[in-house]
Amino acid sequence: MTTTAAPAPPHTGQLPGRLSILDRYLAVWILAAMALGLALGKLVPQLGGAMGTWQVAGVSVPIAVGLLVMMYPVLAKVRYNETGRVLGDRKLMATSLVINWLLAPAFMFALAWIFLADLPEYRTGLIIVGLARCIAMVFIWNDLACGDREAAAVLVAVNSVFQVFAFGALGWFYLQWLPQMLGLPTTSADFSFWAITLSVLVFLGIPLVAGWLSRTLGERVRGRDWYEGTFLPKVGPWALYGLLFTIVLLFALQGEAITAKPLDVVRIALPLVVYFVVVFAASMAIGRVLKLGYPRTTTLAFTAASNNFELAIAVAIATFGVTSGQALAGVVGPLIEVPLLVALVYVALWSRKFFTPSLSPTAKDAA
């Protein structure tokens, strides 16, 4: 009788005590990168203008390069031949779609009106942030928290497809139709279908294809042992280098706007903190109740709690202008999201003790 080997278990990562210095003190490096970016934006205000004139998909090219460098190593780690098992997990797929495209945007809409009812520009910017589901930095948080890499790749790809076709419709729903039905002021906004599509193709398509080619060609030429034991450890740190580089540039680009309106930043930050914490905690609780297991629950939580700030900023700038309140709200998004999601990585790792280790379907059958 032939025995079929069980699929390799999802990424479980390293224990916090075994993390590299770069990983272990990531929160420190990120705060330092944010401070450096803000200082550069304040001391060299022309830097933001210079970066803003060279754009792709509405995002500064240097920042785009940083995002691509950040995403490639993580996507190179994905075992693409194992993503089929994620697509077959209907419970995970359905839960992710409901949280990402029904519950999370509605929650951000409610928070925007509760906290910023008297500030329509910031309120609109916050709603746009809630509509832009994450396709970039979630890979970093998921990897650090030992989530399921293959599940992250599939969920982000699904979010990207929905983003292209649903972003404009949801923008109309939450900025015009729903406020009108509730007797609230409405906001007119035309979102460019091409700009959203280009953003997805650039920030997900390029690193996804590069990661798939690396995995396919690397294993074919040198084998999986060499690819995962030699190649990946060499390119892996570049994900965090790219993250830090992106943060410095992002905050340098908007540093003057942030430091010029500190009280406004605080007003925008409060609903964002509530949003990230509540959505993350609720997703972790839902995953545990549904018995998805720690790796996939973590992936579900980070894909739900993270947002595509690149797209949100690009849309806000293209629609309302670079100096608009909507653009400032988009910029405050990563100001809050980055350090808070790093903190939630440690919360997720701590929560592993509340999860029963999950078996793959084949392993369950064998048991």
The encoded tokens of residue 5 equal 């080997």
The encoded tokens of residue 314 equal 């690009």
For residue 82, what is the DSSP state? G
Q: C-alpha distances in angstroms, 238 versus 30, 134, 233, 243, 343?
A: 15, 20, 10, 8, 21
Does position 4 have pLDDT exceeding 60, yes or no? no
Does position 51 have pLDDT exceeding 80, yes or no? no
| Model pLDDT, residue 313 | 74
- Mean pLDDT, the chain, integer: 80
Mean pLDDT, to the nearest integer, of 2-15?
41
Domains of the chain: 16-352 (1.20.1530.20)
| Model pLDDT, residue 301 | 95
Residues 19 and 28: their CA atoms lie apart, in Å, by: 14
Does position 224 have pLDDT exceeding 70, yes or no? yes
What's the one-letter identity of residue 221? Answer: V
Comparing 102 with 87, the larger pLDDT belongs to 102
Q: C-alpha distances in angstroms, 267 versus 115, 159, 253, 334?
A: 7, 29, 21, 15
Comparing 20 with 256, the larger pLDDT belongs to 256
| Model pLDDT, residue 196 | 66
Does position 102 have pLDDT exceeding 60, yes or no? yes
Comparing 26 with 18, the larger pLDDT belongs to 26
Give the HSE-up count for residue 90: Cα atoms under 13 Å, Cβ half-sphere: 0
| Model pLDDT, residue 5 | 38
Residues 171 and 189: their CA atoms lie apart, in Å, by: 8
- Quote the pTM value: 0.76
| Model pLDDT, residue 274 | 96
Please name which of 144, 148, 88 lies closest in space to residue 358, comparing C-alpha atoms: 148
Region at 321 (left for phi over 0; alpha for psi -120 to 50; beta for the rest)? left
The encoded tokens of residue 74 equal 């993580």
Q: 300-341: per-residue pLDDT in tens?
A: 999 999 887 767 776 776 677 666 788 788 878 877 888 898
User: What confidence tier does 361 reach under pLDDT thresholds 50, 70, 90?
Assistant: very low
Residues 199 and 191: their CA atoms lie apart, in Å, by: 13
For residue 119, what is the DSSP state? -
Output phi, psi for 307, to 5 deg: -135, 155
Output phi, psi for 96, to 5 deg: -60, -45
Centre a 10 Å sphere on the Cβ of residue 287 and count the other Cβ atoms it contains. 26
